[in-house]
Amino acid sequence: MKRRSVVALLAFGFAALAYSPQASSETGWVSLFDGKDMNSFNQIGDSNWRVEDGAIIGSQDMPGNGGLIITDKQYGDFEVVLEMRNDFGPDSGLFLRSTEDGKAYQAMIDYHVGGNLMGIYGEGIGGFSSRNFTFTDPKDPSKIKEDQCPFPLPVSPEKWPAFWKHSPVYSEWSELKARIVGNPPSITTWIKGVKFMEYTDTKKRLGDTGGIALQVHGGSYGGPGDLTKLVVRYRNIRVKTL
C-alpha cells in the first residue's frame, strides 16, 4: 500500500484509492473493489484499512485517528451502491463528489447512538443535514426515534427491528445506495431497496465532479468505549455513471 501526504487535512486522516474498473454483471455498473487486495490503494494519514474475507475493513488507529479511502477517478452524476456490516459504534459515511481533504455531500453511515443511516450531511461544506431518524440506544441499533424531516421516515420505529437486523452475535450484510445528479445537486438514498431520503441543495458548494469515499471518523465521536477495537466493513462497491 502506497502512502502520500496532503497539507492541511481536517482533524482526521484520509486515504486515496486508485482502482482498475471491473465491469459488473448488471448493465452500466462498474466494480470499485474486487474483494481481494488493496494493492492499488494510496493511503493518507494513520487510520487502518485492510482486506479481510472479501471486504474492506476500516478502523481508527490506536491513538484514535480516522480517515478516508477515496477514488482517484472523478464522478459527476452517478449512483453508488455497497453492502455494509459495521460494528455498532464507529462513525462512518459514504462521501459523494468528495475532495481529497474530505469536503463532500455525505450519505450518513453514522452507525452509533445519536447517529443515522442515509440522511444527508454537508461534510466541510456548511454542516447542514437532513435526516428522518436517530439511533437512541448506545448498544442496540434496533431502537430508533423518528425525526421531523421534509422526507418522512418510510419505516416506522415499531417496524424498524424487523427491517434492520442486527444482534450482538450476528448482523446481516445490508445494501445502501445513493444517487447524486445536477449542481446544485439532488441526492436520493436507499436502505435495502427502500427510499429513505430525497434532498436538493439550494446552492453550488462543490465542483461538478469529485471522488467517492468511505470514512472512519476519528476520536470518540461514534459513542462510548474504545472505538479503535471496532470496525466498519464494506463490500460489493459499485458505481454507475448517469
**The domain 2-241: what is its CATH number?**
2.60.120.560
pLDDT in tens, 58-111: 999 888 888 899 998 999 999 999 999 999 999 999 999 999 899 999 999 999
Among 160-164, 182-186, 221-225, which stretch is predicted with the lowest mean pLDDT?
221-225
Rama region for 219: left / alpha / beta (φ>0; ψ in -120 to 50; rest): left
Distances (CA, A) of 48 to 3, 68, 129: 12, 10, 27
| C-alpha–C-alpha distance, residues 47 and 148, integer Å | 35
CB 216 within 8 A of CB 47: yes
Distances (CA, A) of 53 to 46, 141, 210, 213: 22, 24, 29, 21
pLDDT in tens, 155-171: 999 999 999 988 666 67
Look-up of cell digits 438514498:
189
Q: Cβ neighbours of residue 88 under 8 Å, at least 6 residues apart? A: 111, 112, 139, 140, 141, 166
Nearest to 186 by CA among 97, 89, 65: 97
pLDDT in tens, 19-56: 334 444 568 999 999 898 765 556 766 779 999 999 99
Nearest to 181 by CA among 98, 77, 97: 77
pTM recorded for the entire structure: 0.88
CB 165 within 8 A of CB 172: yes
Cis peptide, bond prior to residue 157, ω within 30 of zero: no
pLDDT computed for residue 215 by the predictor: 92
Beta-carbon count within 10 A of 158 CB: 8
Would you kindly state where each structural domain of the chain is located, as residue ranges? 2-241
